[in-house]
Amino acid sequence: MRDRYERAVQIVSLLDLTSLSGTESEADIDALCAKAVGPCGHVAALCVFARHLPRVAENLTRMGLSGVEAATVVNFPAGRLDPTVTADEIRAALGLGATEIDLVFPYSAFLEGRESDVRGFMVECRAACPVRLKVILESGALVRPDVIRAASRLALDCGADFLKTSTGKAAVHATPEAARVMLETIAERGGTAGFKASGGLRTMADALAYLELAEDILGPGWVGPRTFRFGASGLLDDVLAVAAAGGAACAAPA
């Protein structure tokens, strides 16, 4: 059972606690921030729409959580091919306090064969983003493994710090099959980029499946907040419930 507690602590430390409904109030943001730290330690990041970033920063400062990132999404969720608008969106988010950017890849344009245009988009967005850039491929829309692999390679070639599965807004969210392709592509490029599983993750069992996949492909020592994340809103509750059901409190991560 001790392994379950250790896994719970690990999962919490890798979690981008997310609220992207579009209807969040200040009270909702405050409640989200309050969940950032608990009996299993603190999460890796809080991910909200850019307009809420100043409120997140206020809460993190008040709570003394300097190790929690303030993340936001751009070009979300449609993944349009408009580099100027998206680069401006990135700069505006940085001005509001973003320390990480989750950028939706122009997956429709990529599927249309406009690879050169997509590459230009990615280069411009990377130039506008001096912080960690997580590229959301929307793997459920790309569908085929060879297409997911090609998109992954393009994103990494253009400087993506992370490959992320999904927006959580499409019909198909994260899948182990897509994750395997993305992780294998990261491995073939030396394992320096990270991976984020996002969309449809609700239980600790869901999270463990992706952790074990990453450890199988890149090794157990590879996984950490700088290389692996979960994006979810409800996952934290299940992880804490599993830990509490074991009859012992989590230890805070080192």
**Catalytic sites, residue numbers:** 102, 164, 196
Residue with tokens 């409640």: 31
How many CB atoms within 10 Å of residue 202?
A: 13
Residues near 107 by beta carbon (within 8 Å), at least 6 away in sequence = 79, 137, 138, 141, 142, 151
> CA-CA distance, 120 to 83, in Å (whole number)?
8
State the pairing for strand pair 41-42/37-38.
antiparallel
Identify the H or E element spanning 48. strand 45-48
Beta bridge partners of 37: 42
Q: Kind and range of the H or E element at 134?
A: strand 132-136
Q: Concatenated DSSP letters for 68-119?
A: SEEEEEESTTT--S-HHHHHHHHHHHHHTT-SEEEEEP-HHHHHTT-HHHHH
| Tokens 């988010």, located at residue | 93
Please tell me whether residue 55 adopts helix, strand or coil conformation.
helix
